[in-house]
Structure 1
Amino acid sequence: MRLNPLPFKMIASGEKTIELRLNDEKRRLINVGDEITFINTEDNRKTLKTEIVNIYKFKSFEELYAVLPLLKCGYTKEDVKTA
């Protein structure tokens, strides 16, 4: 999966541990235990291999925001208030 530089850096540092994606046809094929390689969109030589440890499914963003720790989803302290 391709990631912009900022979320890529946040995952690499451990600050971001939850990747939010719509549950489209491609994502429905992903299972717990699968490995995903993230590729930095600005430098495709930079990659991160990660393992899926959980899959969360929500009916709405409101439900998602009430349950998940948004700082682990890539939000910062500055923008989490307006999420």
Structure 2
Amino acid sequence: MKHTMSLFNEPFAAIKSGSKTVEIRLHDEKRRLIQVGDHIEFEKLPDKQERIEVCVEQLMIFKTFEEMYRTIPFRDFGCEGWSMEEMIHGTYEIYTPEQESEWETLAIRIRLIES
């Protein structure tokens, strides 16, 4: 199955370069459909003209983003050298603690598919 998601420039470029191998999302209804072996097409915001495709290699569910960040090395998120505070603050600029509590969190280990 193929899924479509949008990304801002920095995480999009990190996936494209191979430095980001884990994408984070809420474990919401849309993401619950993702299975290992599926493909995700990421569209670069804001215009969605550039796209890259990845294969899902692993799905990991965590109660909180902090639990996720304590388990997975920051370099896998393309954030080597960041502090836990920076990771949490950056994530809460996108998702709220209320959303995190409602849905839990999902780490998607991905492999870039060369086009």
With the length of structure 1 as denominator, give the TM-score of the two structures.
0.88
Q: Deviations over 1:29-50 (max 9, x none)?
A: 0000000000000342210010
Q: Percent identity?
A: 41
Q: Which runs of 5+ in 1 are unaligned?
A: none
Moved over 4 A (4+): none
Q: Which segment is superposed worse, 26-35 or 42-51?
A: 42-51
Q: Matches of residues 33-52 of structure 1 in structure 2 within 5 Å?
A: 33-52=37-56
Question: Partner letter of residue 74 of structure 2?
Answer: L
Larger RCO (alpha carbons 8 Å, 6+ apart): 2
Q: Which runs of 5+ in 2 are unaligned?
A: 88-115
Q: Matches of residues 2-81 of structure 1 in structure 2 within 5 Å?
A: 2-77=6-81, 80-81=82-83
Q: Which segment is superposed worse, 19-28 or 52-61?
A: 52-61
Task: Count how many residue pairs are aligned between Structure 1 and Structure 2.
Answer: 81
* Pairwise CA RMSD: 1.2
With the length of structure 2 as denominator, give the TM-score of the two structures.
0.65
